[in-house]
Amino acid sequence: MTEKVKFELEYLLKTSPKVLENMLCTPSGLSEWFADDVNIKDDIFTFFWDGSEEKARLLSKKPNSKAKFKWIEDEEDGNDCFFEMSFDVDPMTKVVVMTITDFAEEDELEESQMLWEQQIGDLKRILGA
């Protein structure tokens, strides 16, 4: 088993925390930018992309702050990996600062970061941010 490396990315968004929370924590919001479609049953989210599917458990959700998920595959493999989308409002500029925390294998780190860049680009386009 290859060790995964933790990384963080930060984005500035011109949107409200309430709108962003909907985009990060609900199947309808996530299906607009993160995956082609998203279903939820109990605390398991199923993400669909181009004919494939991945399942993730919602580990925690804090209103107007963050959503933390763990891929079921990592759970089954005993990995301590997760992905978290957290956000806060900068008190000076009133801009929402979103931080992505994720893990990737060292040889897939750049690819994972580029994927997040693309997905956040989609999110910004949808939000008009």
Instruction: Concatenate the DSSP letters of all residues of 38-57 into one string.
Output: EEEETTEEEEEETTEEEEEE
pLDDT digits (tens, 9 = 90+) for 67-100: 999 999 999 998 899 999 999 998 888 899 999 9
SS3 100: strand
Question: pTM (2 decimals)?
Answer: 0.90
Is residue 2 over pLDDT 80?
no
- Find how far residue 127's CA is from the centre of its chain: 15
pLDDT for the residue 1: 53
CA distances to 11, 15, 90, 93 from 129, in Å: 11, 6, 15, 14
* DSSP element (H, E) containing 86: strand 83-89
CA nearest neighbour of 124 among 47, 40, 32, 2: 32
pLDDT digits (tens, 9 = 90+) for 99-118: 999 999 999 999 999 999 99
pLDDT of res. 55 = 97
Cα(112)–Cα(94) distance, integer angstroms: 29
Give the DSSP H/E element, type plus range, for residue 81: none
- Residue 76: give its domain's CATH number: 3.30.530.20
Q: Is the pLDDT of residue 129 over 80?
A: no
What residue numbers bound the domain in which 96 lies? 4-127
**Average pLDDT taken over every residue of the chain:** 93
50 pLDDT above the threshold of 60:
yes
Q: How many domains does the chain have?
A: 1
Portion of the chain with pLDDT greater than 70, in percent: 98
Segment 21-50 mean pLDDT: 95
